[in-house]
Amino acid sequence: MVRKVKNKKPGISLFVTILMIGVITAFVYHSIITLGNQQTFKDEYDNRTTSVPPAKIESASSVPISPDKLNSPNAILIRLKDHTILMQKNSAEKIYPASLTKIMTAIVAIENLPDLKEKIVLTNSTFQGLYEADASMAGFQPGEQVRAIDLLYGVMLPSGAECCGGLADQIAGSEQNFVKLMNQKAAGLGMKNTHFENSTGLHNANHYTTAKDLAILLSYALQNNTFREIFSSSRHSTQPSNKHPGGITFYSTMFEDLNNQNIIGGEILGGKTGYTDEAGLCLASLARVGKQEYILISAGAKGDHQSEQYNITDALAVYNGIGKR
């Protein structure tokens, strides 16, 4: 009996030793893989060019209006403070942005102009093709010398196509070169489903985006004080120029369409409308409800400039829905 017990001890010890080695090896391997994954994630995060944090998803029940009740087939609502998506409807679907394009035109121009008070001459070539395309115009004339800041207001409030062209020529030498800056900016912001062909939003089959990408863009642009000031203005009067001694007064197309309608518990602070036959009625807006700010992007609503403005109707419905909570 004693001899048998002694003979078993080496076998048991060997088994326990092998088992412990296996456990230690597995633990070390798991630790290495975990640390490696954490480092890979950190490297990917650090290397991203993201000026706006990735959006978080919150239950659609946080907004007491169903996306299906909107007139717009594409929409996204984001709480600006933490970039939480509160509601979305086909927000990753390809759309034509129409004049919502001018949000990108404005922020790229602001970031590339050393002096917003400098005067820019609008040449004949700036106006080429705009009247024929029935583009929205701010009211400037060929040969007019205009401050850059007045052109920026002309881009955003009356949606002036000649203002886009004047800024593009001044900054990049041509609209084509300026559009390259727009696309570079879009890529840098992570707007993965966006491509621009012009600075105005005139229809082009290869000029497209998504509601979600536009929300990324607007969230970014609103961090710029100059952009926010322009975006939230209902009117602006330019300085006298060689063609307009009394200046020109612009009015925001959104505030005109809004027609002094209020929302429950807050106000619509600013916005940019857009429309082409292919894009439908579009709107990018900023509102404050309670103590929070929200942005809503909507696109593709049926109608035109003569019909009911369903893009405005949708904004009022969504923001009032937040106010009723």
Ranges of each domain in the chain: 67-324
What is the distance between the alpha carbons of residues 259 and 262, in angstroms, rounded to a whole number?
Answer: 9
What is the distance between the alpha carbons of residues 244 and 96, in angstroms, rounded to a whole number?
Answer: 34
Structure confidence by residue, pLDDT tens digits, 302-319? 999 999 999 999 999 999
Residue 2 has pLDDT above 50, yes or no: no
pTM as predicted: 0.82
The CATH architecture annotation of domain 67-324 reads 3-Layer(aba) Sandwich (3.40)
User: Residue 141 has what pLDDT?
Assistant: 98
Catalytic residue among 72, 89, 91, 99: 99
Structure confidence by residue, pLDDT tens digits, 127-169? 999 999 999 999 999 999 999 999 999 999 999 999 999 999 9
Residue 29 has pLDDT above 50, yes or no: no
What is the distance between the alpha carbons of residues 286 and 214, in angstroms, rounded to a whole number?
Answer: 13
Active site residue 102: yes
The verdict on whether residue 4 carries a ligand-binding annotation is no
Active site residue 59: no
DSSP string, 275-306: EETTTEEEEEEEEEETTEEEEEEEEEES--TT
Catalytic residue among 72, 91, 136, 159: 159
Catalytic residue among 89, 102, 185, 212: 102
Percent of the chain residues topping a pLDDT of 90: 78
Tokens (6 digits) for 257: 């369409």
What's the per-residue H, E or C state across 69-134?
HCCCCEEEEEECCCCEEEEEECCCCCECCHHHHHHHHHHHHHHHCCCCCCEEECCHHHHCCCCCCC
